[in-house]
Amino acid sequence: MTDAHRRPAAAPRARLLPAADRQDAGERSLQLEVLARLAHPSILVVAVYLLVVGTHHPGGGFAAGLVAGLGLVLRRLAGGPKELTAATPLPPGLLLGIGLLLVAGYAGTGVLVAGELLAGAVWSVDAGFLGHVEIPSALVFELGVALIVVGLTLDVLRTLGVDEPSEEDAEETT
């Protein structure tokens, strides 16, 4: 066979649910895996949108955290507990700590700078083709709330989804 007749090598693709194939075949649902592959990126975009527009319109950190948490629930249902671990490299306690630090830091900064608890400011930026953009300092607070909600959701999912370690897992750790 000549080089011209060889089939080109398939391009490597990153999988959206990398740990789903570790689940037992009887517990997998192809439809749910496909739905998770299609919906999860869109769910995260909606969560970011809710976070950004939440200072002027309905939404905010709590709503963004709930939507992002629902995306993680979908991945947990589609791929099992190992998929949830693969989807979130940071432990829930670290997300909770960062969120609490952002919320407390925002409140403390307001007291130090303006003499009021949770005082904020708005920065105006000309962003070229995007036009005039206003960035409220309350976005830091909203991000902290979103991280707290996502951290709590992850903690609950990991607590409820604890499985007994299998023999394969025991062999991998040794």
More confidently predicted of 111 and 144: 144
The token pair at 14 is 């990153």
Residue 118 scores a pLDDT above 80: no
pLDDT of residue 128: 84
Span 49-108, pLDDT tens digits: 999 888 778 888 999 999 999 999 998 888 877 778 888 888 999 999 999 999 999 988
What are the helix (H) ranges across 28-137?
30-53, 61-79, 81-87, 92-114
157 touches 80 (CB < 8 A): no
The model's confidence at residue 11, banded by pLDDT at 50, 70 and 90, is very low
Would you list the domain boundaries of the chain?
Answer: 24-160
Q: Which of 17-26, 100-109, 155-164 has the lowest average pLDDT?
A: 17-26
- The answer to whether 146 and 65 have CB atoms below 8 angstroms apart is yes
